[in-house]
Structure 1
């Protein structure tokens, strides 16, 4: 994407945010109720949480849980999905289990693990991994099914090492599916982490939301929500979008070759 296109896209996003803030401010002023705070009141609550060092500590704890759960789910779910896509026997055996995991409510998994293992960190992270793993497996299974057999034959003919197959054959073919699983994974995992923290942890953003709920403190609830959304959006802008652009350049280069 050209620099002009990036500037245009950024302008559109800023305009959308400005319109949303204007509608929110106008609605809050019209209703004039503590249950619908203005953007200024939410910003004030954000400053209070930051000055009392609750905001940063809670964000870091939650992000740590998100990172651990995300990488474990991507690794295990990705490996499972690729094997299911590449080998029909593995898919036939594991597909019923995958369907079950996809349809079990996240809340049920969280409650069961807390009951079985107690209100411990391992149960919290494990519940998030179990809830995300089947989504990753389904996405990467499609990637495994799309492996080019002609490229596989070429790799065998030229005696590619495992490292060469991984970096030069499998990874480029799987990359678009990995990006889909990554984006959907981040969107899902942080929501599940907040529920896990709300139900059974004594720290993190979810715990702070629970405390604010007890006091009907909507401004603080929104302050934590927007702070975490901002962090996730930074990950999108600074990591995922550059990776996407790099992959597109690689694909265009491959097509020219």
Structure 2
């Protein structure tokens, strides 16, 4: 059986080799992250040796308290309440932020009308949003959700705005030349190029949303992680404060590695092949 020779200049991409390299990079990065955590805990332990337990308790004491907290049903209730508020606020922020960012990036008129206001809202401290929403909506979940939505929207809008300005305009002109509809150009040309910026905006907004909702809960709500941290702060219990802070951090890491990372890997699975083709 005869074989057809490859065309001159044709690039053959070994996808299996690319996947193996990607897997090796993932495992190497995982080990480095684990090592950084171990080093941080060791530094914490050394500092605890020279400080009073009421000021800097040892890692073992904090981890043990965190384990005890995980054995209590109230812990999951408080975390769940905070997560519902964060997700609700982020849904508002993502929808509004992407829409505003696209308007600013694709329209000079939209940019002139909105950029100043986006920057103003971005510079307002999160605690101001919390106070205003509590005064407007009362001590309830709606106040926390609106505060998160309003506070995180500018961050997402700025990321999408800058990402839209950086996309390849030639592809948009090409789409117009082939008589693509505006909807097709938006979803087939613009949005795929914005995926890295959208994911970066989501990461930033997630961390910001946790901070805002914690502030709102600390200011006046009677449930959530922020309320619990304020309670233990009032009792001067540093072990519980750090234990709840670690729980808070673990929840963020789970959201990052169990949700955002897999979504990013799926939506950008074409990028390794493209980098290989460019000789990266």
TM-score normalized by the length of structure 1: 0.90
Is 1:107 matched up with 2:138?
no
Deviation of the 1:58 alpha carbon: 1.0
Deviation of the 1:248 alpha carbon: 4.3
Deviation of the 1:197 alpha carbon: 0.8
Q: Deviations over 1:43-74 (max 9, x none)?
A: 23223323332211111111111111112101
Is 1:68 matched up with 2:68?
no
Task: Choose from 29, 33, 52 the match for 2:53.
Answer: 33
Query: C-alpha distance in 2, partners of 1:149/1:42?
Result: 53
Deviation of the 1:22 alpha carbon: 1.7
15-24 or 235-244: bigger deviation: 235-244
Tell me the residue number matched to 1:184.
Answer: 204
**Conserved? CA contact 2:172–2:190, under 8 Å:** no
Superposed, which structure 2 residues align to 1:89-238 within 5 Å? 89-160=109-180, 164-238=184-258
SS, match of residue 270 in structure 2: helix
1:149–1:33 CA distance, 2 compared to 1 (3 A): closer
Aligned residues: 257
**Conserved? CA contact 1:128–1:189, under 8 Å:** yes
Query: C-alpha distance in 2, partners of 1:20/1:232?
Result: 18
1:253–1:14 CA distance, 2 compared to 1 (3 A): closer
43-52 or 85-94: bigger deviation: 43-52
Q: Deviations over 1:24-60 (max 9, x none)?
A: 1232233243221112211232233233322111111
**Conserved? CA contact 2:160–2:194, under 8 Å:** yes
Unpaired segments ≥5 residues, structure 1: none
SS, match of residue 190 in structure 1: helix
Deviation of the 1:166 alpha carbon: 4.3
TM-score normalized by the length of structure 2: 0.84
**Conserved? CA contact 2:89–2:144, under 8 Å:** no
Query: C-alpha distance in 1, partners of 2:127/2:58?
Result: 32
CA RMSD in angstroms comes to 2.2
Query: C-alpha distance in 1, partners of 2:244/2:129?
Result: 25
Deviation of the 1:157 alpha carbon: 4.1
Query: C-alpha distance in 2, partners of 1:11/1:149?
Result: 40
Tell me the residue number matched to 1:78.
Answer: 98
**Which structure would you say has the larger Rg?**
2
Deviation of the 1:244 alpha carbon: 3.4
SS, match of residue 31 in structure 1: coil
